[in-house]
């Protein structure tokens, strides 16, 4: 094993064993992520939900079904770590609050995000999903999530801000129909182009 691969495997093992904020988590620590240095697309999401905590599979829920539809990819493609890296702002399920899941634990991103993203050698597209990911990846956007998504052309084609695909966001989607009419078709074409290029490289 090459030194860089050995360092990556050590980092991943360290992350999966993390218990930094376990005492504050209702179900304990179970970091859920998908990472491979070869991934060309980063899914920068919020935090695992309860079902994902139970299965250990990123986006193994209704949110994942909608997100894969937005991207125009199959479940097999989405869960191929050589294609998609999935690194939420909080790696563990934070518990439920009064209006849905709680925010990602604040200890997580400062500790893990930089080394994890540094491991991605071939990254070409970052999907910043939800306000916590947008705040991290697009700190210049200060007018809220809706305006960040509305301004997606500013960051195209490298970073795409997206609303969270959770069913709890159905009202937002109904109020912002331009999103699925204007942005989603462009996003599907962008993802298809990247995956096709990746497939050609793999065959050569």
CA distance 117 to 114: 5
Please give the model's pTM, rounded to 2 decimal places: 0.96
**Is-cis flag, bond preceding 38, omega within 30?**
no
What's the structural domain count of the chain? Answer: 1
- On the 0-12 / 13-18 / 19+ scale of CB atoms within 10 A, 111 is middle
Residue 56: which domain range? 3-203
pLDDT value at residue 45: 96
CATH number at residue 17: 3.40.470.10
State the pLDDT confidence band at 141, using cuts at 50, 70 and 90.
very high
Give pLDDT tens digits for 88-126: 999 999 999 887 899 999 999 999 999 999 999 999 999
Gap between the Cα atoms of 188 and 185, Å rounded: 5
Helices 3-16, 108-118: inter-axial angle, 10-degree rounding: 160
Taking CA atoms, 101 is separated from 29, 65, 120, 125, 133, in Å, by 16, 18, 28, 27, 15
Reported as a single tens digit per residue, the pLDDT across 38-89 is 999 999 999 999 999 999 999 999 999 999 999 999 999 999 999 999 999 9
């Amino acid at each position: 094993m090459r030194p860089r691969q050995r360092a990556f495997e050590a980092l991943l093992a360290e992350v999966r064993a993390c218990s930094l904020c376990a005492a504050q988590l209702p179900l304990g620590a179970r970091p859920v992520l998908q990472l491979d240095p070869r991934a060309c697309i980063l899914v920068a999401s919020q935090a695992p939900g309860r079902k994902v905590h139970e299965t250990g599979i990123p986006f193994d829920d209704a949110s994942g079904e909608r997100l894969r539809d937005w991207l125009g990819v199959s479940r097999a493609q989405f869960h191929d770590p050589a294609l998609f890296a999935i690194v939420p702002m909080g790696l563990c399920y934070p518990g439920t609050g009064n209006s849905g899941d709680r925010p990602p634990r604040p200890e997580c991103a400062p500790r893990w995000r930089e080394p994890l993203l540094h491991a991605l050698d071939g990254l070409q597209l970052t999907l910043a999903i939800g306000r916590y990911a947008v705040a991290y990846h697009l700190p210049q956007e200060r007018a809220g999530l809706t305006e960040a998504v509305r301004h997606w052309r500013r960051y195209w084609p490298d970073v795409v801000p997206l609303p969270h695909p959770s069913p709890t966001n159905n009202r937002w989607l109904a109020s912002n129909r331009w999103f699925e009419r204007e942005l989603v078709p462009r996003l599907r074409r962008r993802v298809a182009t990247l995956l096709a290029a990746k497939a050609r490289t793999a065959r050569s």
